[in-house]
Amino acid sequence: MTTRLYLRPTAFVDAPFGLDGRCLRLAGGLVWFAAVEAIRVENGRRVATELVPVDRLDTLGADAAPILARLTAPRPPLILGARVLRFDQPQVMAILNMTPDSFSDGGRHAAPEEAAAAAIAMAAEGAAIIDIGGESTRPGAPPVWQDDEIARTVPVIERLAAAGIALSIDTRKAAVMAAAMAAGAHVVNDVSALTWDAEALALVAAAGCPVVLMHHQGTPETMQQAPRYGDALIEVYDWLAARIAACEAAGIARTRILVDPGIGFGKTLAHNLALVNGLALLHGLGCPIVLGASRKRTIGALSNEAPVEKRLGGSIAFALAGAAQGAQWLRVHDVPETVQALRIWRGLRDQALTPPAAL
């Protein structure tokens, strides 16, 4: 029987000063950890869990070495047109939905000129990249014809590309990906992790563009009917690892891949919370992490069924939980509020990382 090892960074410390050999930097970012939760899994079930200090990691055996290398390796920056996006601190990925039926802001941006102006404002407010979508993937949403999706997104992408803004296209369809990239999009963000369209994997490989692989269970039409996992965190990790392997086999370099646990995409409240609590485990995949929990149903479930427009506080809480575990991109609706929260978080980190002698 094969036992697999997983390492979740934990015991986060404010700064590495005076802790030589007793803490490690997480993915080249602003977070240091002093221990790992070593999880051993057989047949999909956890059979042992141990909290291991960093200075005792050699006791975990040879299986730990490649995982630790991926946990600590800095993520190479992405060159997106005129922009360079680094992964040494959390950045905001702003949502721009060109849809009439998205769960949060459907129908808000009807005209390309208005949508482009809104995106330019979000970039000015601190968004590092704008994620543009023309098909709602909320639970129960029906598919959109690809030509309609192209018509909704391409005119906006063309305007924003001309303004020098970093852009991603949020789509499952190869034809939409191709049209968006031709118009100036830099990144493909696929909620199906390049599984929905048989042509998508080869297209992204040939384009050489970065891609966000998001975990999902089921389709938007069915995903929330009865999602089930034996161990949500481990199963999401394994599924993403398999998708990364498939992308690498197709010619997509791991340095061009980002991963997203897919909060709300085929998950219950308990699954979503387990994934956020254990988010740092995903750094073991060796890819930057995208966390998209903004205004999600989980926030309403934990706050007296608060409607979408009353979920800002919960969205900020999830964003900061992600930042504290080293998530590199936070996909959000509320840009200035999230940017402000991250600036406070960054200020706290900068102060903690100032050597005491310099104070």
Q: Given 75, 138, 173, 331, which residue is catalytic?
A: 331
Q: Is 243 a catalytic residue?
A: no
Residue among 256, 296, 311, 349 flagged as catalytic: 296
DSSP strands (E only) in 87-202: 91-97, 129-133, 167-170, 187-190
112 phi-psi bin (left φ>0, alpha ψ -120 to 50, beta other):
alpha
Per DSSP, which regions of 242-332 are E strands?
Answer: 257-260, 290-291, 329-332
Gap between the Cα atoms of 61 and 59, Å rounded: 6
Q: CB neighbours of 221 closer than 8 A, spacing ≥ 6?
A: 140, 141, 142, 143
Instruction: State how far the Cα of 91 lies from the Cα of 160, in Å rounded to an integer.
Output: 19
The answer to whether residue 296 is catalytic is yes
Phi, psi (deg, nearest 5) at residue 232: -55, -45
Contacts of 296 (CB under 8 A, 6+ apart): 263, 264, 272, 311, 315, 318
Q: Provide the annotated active-site residues.
A: 296, 331
